Amino acid sequence: MQAVINKVEPGMVIINSTIQYQSEAGAGTGMVINSDGLVLTNNHVIEDSTKLTATVVATGKTYPATVLGYDTTGDVALIKLRGAAGLTTVPVGNSSDIKAGAPVVALGNANGQGTILPAAGTITGVNKTITASDQGGTITSETLHGMLETNADIVPGDSGGPLSDAAGQVVGMDTAGQSVSFGQQASPTGFAIPINTALAVASQIAAGHASATISIGYPPFIGIYVAQGSNSNPQAQAQQQAAGNPFGGLGGFGGNQPSCYTSNANLQVPSQIAPASSGTLIDGVICASPAAAAGMTGGAVITAVNGKAVGAPDRLQSILAAFRPGDTVTITWVNLNGQTTTSTLHLVAGPPL
């Protein structure tokens, strides 16, 4: 196993993410695939991040990182280490050749400890479909297809790291692990995206080719917290969130809401809602964001973007997804007093979705 580690580890990075607007931090792993600092990792490692750094294991040097693009449905992302040159790349194999029973070693920043730990095992299945639950971010679960299954013990933090064959060639990208409860007579189960699949997505991102599943660069951002879902009634949106709100239902702490938020740590469901029958309810506004500059507050309701009617939060998100950071949009919204305003907002770069 040490021979495999010696071949693969020099091309690995430890990724740390700041998730500012969600009052969280994250840790994962990445693989250098280009000496100038292109790094392959999972989308769920960079999802919702407002700041990324990557530490090259071989040198201990830490670089700021930029998201070049991501595929949410395939859980693949490509990042660039700013100012990096002359990096060692991971040795890449051919995942099409891997068969059940083949010995493998999973490497990664296990449990975010800041060091690379190996886990040996074998391939127990190929072309598997799984539903993986994420321990953070907005994606609660995702269905992934064509996965490699292994009994190597893949744990949180390993995500984005290499699954290597006995020759030290990377055949997969560690993505999901399944812990075994005490008393069960079963082996650990881990899953990896075949490296051929992951690199195909990375190549498309590097070429700047967006698609129905691949996003290039950072998404547009106006700086608001909204509900999820397809209900277009703002009152119903509030009730739905109050049912699952950890801060005491409508109005939170006695209804004393801040004018803006720096994270969602104390986000409250608005106690007062603008009198609009349809639109997306703003739960809160992020400080120093375009929405805050326009005067929007929690409890206001967005009713249109560029003149297009907005109902449910899902609709607002799909409309905004068509724009890029730097674009200008007009947003029509109703405030708590029932006054309708149309504001021009300059979209800024937001955290990856």
Q: Domain spanning 2-90+209-215: which CATH class is it, in words?
A: mainly beta
Predicted pLDDT of residue 131 = 78
For residue 227, what pLDDT is reported?
A: 82
- What is the C-alpha to C-alpha distance for residues 305 and 275, in angstroms, rounded to an integer? 18
pLDDT in tens, 30-51: 999 999 999 999 999 999 898 9
pLDDT at residue 132, as a whole number = 67
The per-residue pLDDT for 23 is 63
| Position 106 confidence tier, pLDDT thresholds 50, 70, 90 | very high
197, pLDDT greater than 90: yes
How far apart are the C-alpha atoms of 120 and 154, rounded to whole Å? 10
CB atoms within 10 A of CB 314: 16
Give the pLDDT confidence score for residue 92 in this predicted structure: 98
Q: How far apart are CA 255 and CA 347, in angstroms?
A: 30
CATH number of 95-194: 2.40.10.10
Q: Provide the pLDDT confidence category of residue 137 given band limits of 50, 70 and 90.
A: very low
pLDDT computed for residue 91 by the predictor: 98
pLDDT of residue 186: 52
Question: Please, which contacts does 35-38 make with residues 24 or more away whose CB atoms are closer than 8 Å?
Answer: 35/85, 35/86, 35/87, 35/88, 35/89, 36/84, 36/85, 36/87, 37/63, 37/80, 37/81, 37/82, 37/83, 37/84, 37/85, 37/87, 38/68, 38/78, 38/79, 38/80, 38/202, 38/206
Q: In DSSP terms, which residues pair with 123 in a beta bridge?
A: 150
The per-residue pLDDT for range 230-245, each reduced to its tens digit, is 899 999 999 887 776 5
pLDDT in the model for residue 20? 73
Q: What average pLDDT does range 56-64 have in this prediction?
A: 96
Residue ranges per structural domain of the chain: 2-90+209-215, 95-194, 218-349
Across the range 276-284, mean pLDDT stands at 95
Q: Which residues, at least 6 apart from 271, have a Cβ–Cβ distance to it below 8 Å?
A: 250, 251, 252, 255, 257, 299
What per-residue confidence (pLDDT) applies to 130? Answer: 80
Number of Cα atoms under 13 Å in the Cβ half of residue 102: 24
Chosen CATH of 218-349 out of 2.30.42.10, 3.40.50.410, 3.40.50.2300, 3.40.980.10: 2.30.42.10
CA atoms within 13 A on the CB side of 61: 15
- Name, of 28-32, 43-47, 177-181, 209-213, the range with top average pLDDT: 28-32
pLDDT surpassing 70 at residue 134:
no
pLDDT of residue 185: 41
Residue pair 63/30 in contact (Cβ under 8 Å)? The answer is no
Quick one: pLDDT band at residue 187, thresholds 50, 70, 90?
low
Which residues are designated catalytic?
Answer: 44, 75, 159
Q: Say what the pLDDT of residue 141 is.
A: 63
128, amino acid identity: K
The rounded mean pLDDT for the chain is 88
Decide whether 2-90+209-215 matches 218-349 in CATH topology: no
SS3 track for the chain: CHHHHHHHHHHEEEEEEEEHHHCEEEEEEEEEEECCCEEEECHHHHCCCCEEEEEECCCCCEEEEEEEEEECCCCEEEEEECCCCCCCCCCECCHHHCCCCCEEEEEECHHHCCCCEEEEEEEEEEEEEEEEECCCCCCCEEEEEEEEEECCCCCCCCCCCEEEECCCCEEEEEEEEECCCCCCCCCCEEEEEEHHHHHHHHHHHHCCCCCCCEEECCCEECCEEECCCCCCCHHHHHHHHHHCCCCCCECCCCCCCCCCECCCCCCCECCCCCCCCCCEEEEEEECCCHHHHHCCCCCCEEEEECCEECCCHHHHHHHHCCCCCCCEEEEEEECCCCCEEEEEEECEECCCC
Give dist(CA 87, CA 316) in Å, integer: 42
